[in-house]
Chain A
Amino acid sequence: EDKVVQSPLSLVVHEGDTVTLNCSYEVTNFRSLLWYKQEKKAPTFLFMLTSSGIEKKSGRLSSILDKKELFSILNITATQTGDSAVYLCAAHSGGGADGLTFGKGTHLIIQP
């Protein structure tokens, strides 16, 4: 059974702190790992990771994938209140098992 586990489930930090969100996965025919930010209803795409060890960056956000250990992390530096959201990771399976398996998300709250 495919599964994606995110940790922590909830995190409260102060503005300016750096946070690391974790995502481990076990899926059949792994193709890619996706990170989303969900504030209102539709998740916003952040990163797609396919190769191990290559960091992707976008502003204060960065993410990296470890295909040997089957996990990914999402880092946010110098957090701002606008970073408060639920962060979702999803593992994309390819081949005959085309599908997305989502984790439950990490609810991040940034306090001023």
Chain B
Amino acid sequence: GAVVSQHPSRVICKSGTSVKIECRSLDFQATTMFWYRQFPKQSLMLMATSNEGSKATYEQGVEKDKFLINHASLTLSTLTVTSAHPEDSSFYICSAIRQPSSYEQYFGPGTRLTVT
């Protein structure tokens, strides 16, 4: 149990276009989902925390107008990279927790975004 999926797994888009990435908890309801970006040398950077039905909380330095997060239901959160640029090319990973204060995060497989 506790499976998190992401779609698409890989996307290539042109500079200036927008890309939407979906994160779904397949067999549980996720009160909170997190969005990460993976940088070189494998470090993960938390971008934002997404709670169902409320606005996402963005980490310092993350542009909320560029990385739009919508957590419309307890099983789906979306990250839209607007007006993508080559520097947005990265590996985006989401994770979900079943209940508040739980230390068990379930990670999605990631989405490789390449902006040309």
In chain B, what residue has the closest Cβ to A104? Answer: B104
Question: Which of B34, B46, B49, B105 contacts A105 (CB under 8 A)?
Answer: B105
Most B-side CB within 10 Å, residue of A34, A38, A42, A97: A42
Q: Which bucket holds chain B's interface residue count?
A: 20 to 34
In chain A, what residue has the closest Cβ to B49? Answer: A41
Q: Complex: how many Å from CA A48 to CA B95? A: 20
B72 within 8 A of A: no
B42 touches A41 (CB 8 A): no
Kindly identify, within residues 63 to 112 of chain A, every residue whose CB is under 8 Å from any CB belonging to chain B: 86, 88, 90, 97-102, 104-105, 107
Q: Complex: how many Å from CA A38 to CA B10? A: 26
Q: Complex: how many Å from CA A2 to CA B5? A: 12
Q: A38-B105, A41-B49, A104-B104 are in contact. Are A99 and B110 (CB under 8 A)?
A: yes
Residues on A with C-beta less than 8 A from B46 are 41-42
Q: Complex: how many Å from CA A6 to CA B107? A: 14
Interface residues of B (CB under 8 A from A): 2, 9-10, 34, 36, 38, 41-46, 49, 91, 93, 95, 103-107, 109-110, 112
